[in-house]
Amino acid sequence: MAQRTAVVASRVGLHARPAMIFTNAVAATGVPVTLARPGGEPVDASSILFVMSLGVPHGEEVTLTTEDGAERVLDELVTLLETDLDAQDAPTGASGGSAS
């Protein structure tokens, strides 16, 4: 199992637009990824409903987990989370990442 932590940079946390961009990017990888708040149960990171239900605020650290061998996917997702996805020039998530 591979894990990474990230600090959510979006001003509103993982809600609405940032959650949509993030979950679209996860789904585009084709790799199963989970997301969890500190001490919380992990959820499917490709599900906007599950991700939004976590209620992750700006500045909170989250943990992403996937199978071994998909470390590059996690690195790309961490970079995305650590970007203010509310900014006008934020990525749309349409291109997504790719599994290694």
Q: Among all residues, which ones are annotated catalytic?
A: 15
Burial of 10 (0-12, 13-18, 19+ CB in 10 A): buried
**Residue 75: which residues within 8 A CB-CB, separation 6 or more?**
4
* Strands of the sheet with 2-7, listed across from one edge: 2-7, 61-66, 34-36, 43-44
